[in-house]
Chains A and B, each alone.
Chain A
Amino acid sequence: MTSPQLRLRSLAVFALVLSLLLPSSSSFAAPTDAPAFELPKWETGEKVKLSDFAGEVVVLDFFAYWCVPCKRASQEVESGIQKFYAGKKGNPHGVPVRVVSINIEKDNPKLTSQFIKQAGLEFALNDFDGALLEKFGGAGTPFLVVIDGTRAPEFRVLYKHAGFEGTKKLRQIIDGVMPRKTASVRLTSRRSASIEEATAAPTTREGEVSFDAMLASDVQTTSTSIRYGESKGDTTWNARFTYNSIAEDYEPFRAFDFQTSARSLYESYFAGQADLRRKLHDTLTLSGSATVYDGFTDYRSLWFSEYYRQRFSADPLYYPSNPQGFSASTGLRWEYQPTTGFAEAGFAYAYDQIAPGWDLPDGTAENPTPNLEHGRDLLHTFSPSLRFENVLTRRIRTLHEFQLTLTTDRDSRYSYRGSVNVALGERWVWRTSGGYTHEDPALRAWNVGATMEFEITSQWLVNVSGLYYHDTGEIENSSLLSTAGPGLQTYQTGLGLRYLGERNSFSLSVSPMWSQYEALEVGTRPFTNLYKDRTWILVQTAWNIEI
Chain B
Amino acid sequence: MIVFLVGCSSPAVRQQRLVAKPNMLFSDSVVLSYNSPKLLPQLAPGFAGSGGAQNSGCTSCR
Contact = CB atoms under 8 A, between A and B. Distances in A.
Contact of A325 (B8, B22, B49, B53): B53
A485 B26 contact: no
A99 interface: no
Nearest to A162: B13
Interface in A27-81: 62, 64, 66-68
B36 to A, nearest CB: 8
Contacts of B2: 21, 23
B27 to A, nearest CB: 9
B: contact size bracket: 35 or more
Given A133-B14, A544-B31, A474 B6 contact: no
A398 B15 CA distance: 16
A195 interface: no
B52 to A, nearest CB: 3
A388 B52 contact: no
Contacts of A354: 52-53, 56, 59
A352 interface: yes
Interface of B: 1-2, 4-8, 10-26, 29-35, 37-47, 49-62
B18 to A, nearest CB: 4
14 contacts: A66-B21, A105-B17, A130-B14, A214-B39, A298-B42, A298-B57, A327-B50, A381-B52, A390-B5, A429-B24, A445-B45, A477-B60, A498-B31, A544-B30
Nearest to A451: B34
B19 A356 contact: no
A357 B58 CA distance: 9
A140 B11 CA distance: 9
A429 B23 contact: yes
Given A68-B22, A415-B49, A542 B31 contact: yes
A: contact size bracket: 35 or more
Contact of A300 (B1, B39, B47, B57): B57
A490 B21 contact: no
A308 B58 CA distance: 13
Contact of A475 (B17, B20, B42, B62): B62
Among B14, B32, B52: residue with most chain A CB under 10 A: B52
Among B1, B19, B31, B59: residue with most chain A CB under 10 A: B59
Contacts of B60: 304, 356-357, 359, 375, 477, 479, 481-483
A390 B57 contact: no
Interface of A: 20-21, 23, 62, 64, 66-68, 104-105, 107, 129-130, 133-134, 138-141, 143, 208, 210, 212-214, 221-223, 225, 297-301, 304-305, 308, 323, 325, 327, 337, 339-341, 348, 350, 352, 354-357, 359, 375, 379-381, 383, 388-400, 403, 405, 407-410, 413, 415, 419, 421, 423, 426, 429, 431, 433, 435, 437, 443, 445-447, 449-451, 453, 461, 463, 465, 467, 469, 471, 474-479, 481-485, 488, 490, 498, 500, 505-507, 511, 515, 536, 538, 540, 542-544
Given A388-B6, A390-B7, 18 more contacts: A212-B38, A223-B38, A225-B38, A300-B58, A301-B58, A340-B16, A352-B51, A354-B59, A391-B7, A431-B23, A451-B35, A453-B23, A471-B46, A483-B58, A483-B59, A498-B32, A540-B37, A544-B30
A400 B4 CA distance: 9
Contacts of B39: 212-214, 221-223, 538
B46 A443 contact: yes
A421 B24 CA distance: 6
Nearest to B62: A477
B53 A323 contact: yes
A270 to B, nearest CB: 14
Contact of A298 (B15, B33, B41): B41
A338 to B, nearest CB: 9
A540 to B, nearest CB: 6
Contacts of B45: 443, 445, 471, 474, 485
Given A388-B5, A443-B45, A66 B34 contact: no
Contacts of B33: 507, 540, 542
Nearest to B20: A66
